[in-house]
Structure 1
Amino acid sequence: MLEVGWFSTKLLFKGKLLRNPGYFIRQSAIGLVLGLLLFVGLDKIGVNLWMPLVLSSLLTGIAMPFLLKDVKMK
């Protein structure tokens, strides 16, 4: 299993894993900003640190499969 992960990582860094890396980066950035805004917003309200961390992680984890559903591999 580690060998497959290592091979995929090498292909990603060589630029041979994704057909459209710009789309992948854009969709990942959208998910990151969404989670970050939720985290900062809840933190500014004054909620305990664990609550924004858990909620923003959960929301980002739920959103990523929907954002990255159209990613094409080579």
Structure 2
Amino acid sequence: MFEMVRSSMTLFFQGRLFAEPGKVYRQTAIGAVATAVILVVIGKLGLSLAVAAAAAGFIGGALQPYLFKDLRYR
């Protein structure tokens, strides 16, 4: 199990895990920006930073499978 994780991380950092690395970076950036926007909006609504961060993290994490559904691996 740990060998698989180590191998995947090595391939990722070498840029050989995904068939289209540019698409991975774009989808990751979209998810990060969406999470940041959600954090700011919830924070502006007057909720505490901890609640805003938890909600934004949950929503942003739930968004990742949708963003990554079409990625192809090598």
Once the two structures are aligned, what percentage of the paired residues are identical? 32
The reply on whether 1:49 has 2:49 as its aligned counterpart is yes
What TM-score do you get using the length of structure 1 for normalisation?
Answer: 0.91
Q: How does 1:22-37 map to 2 (within 5 A)?
A: 22-37=22-37
- The runs of at least 4 consecutive aligned structure 1 residues that moved more than 4 Å come to none
TM-superposed CA distance for 1:59, in Å, is: 0.6
**Aligned partners of 1:73, 1:30: CA distance in 2, in Å?**
20
Q: Deviations over 1:9-65 (max 9, x none)?
A: 111111211100000110111011000011122223331122111110111111100
* Corresponding residue pairs, total: 74
What TM-score do you get using the length of structure 2 for normalisation?
Answer: 0.91
**Gap regions ≥5 residues in structure 1:** none
Q: How does 1:1-74 map to 2 (within 5 A)?
A: 1-74=1-74
CA RMSD of aligned residues (A): 1.0
**Gap regions ≥5 residues in structure 2:** none
